Amino acid sequence: NAGVTQTPKFRVLKTGQSMTLLCAQDMNHEYMYWYRQDPGMGLRLIHYSVGEGTTAKGEVPDGYNVSRLKKQNFLLGLESAAPSQTSVYFCASKQGRQPQHFGDGTRLSIL
């Protein structure tokens, strides 16, 4: 049982480049989340989705876009990467009132 899988695990970008982070879950969960984790700041919610075809903004949505075209996938896009977006990105999913399950994270560096 894979759970929550994030790809890629590591990526280095140049300022201005674009990329998409993929989160896939095989637990048939309705809810999916994207967080960023920076030293001393915990996990901050970027965007989330309460079901296929829906998305909503979290605490720090600026500079990111998301899509949930399929229930099992939640994509996080950076249209024009900036050094301030250097971070570790975590995806999570949950069903109903159950706890969130996290992926292993994507370490993103923007030069």
Applying CB under 8 A, does 99 fall inside the site for other proteins?
yes
CA 6 distance to own-chain centroid: 8
Cβ burial, residue 88 (10 Å; 0-12/13-18/19+):
middle
Binding residue (CB under 8 A) for other proteins from 64, 74, 89, 90: 90
CA dist 59 and 96 (Å) reads 21
Applying CB under 8 A, does 27 fall inside the site for other proteins?
no
Which residues make up the interface to other proteins (CB under 8 A)? 31, 33, 35, 40-45, 48, 50, 56, 58-59, 90, 97, 99-100, 102-105
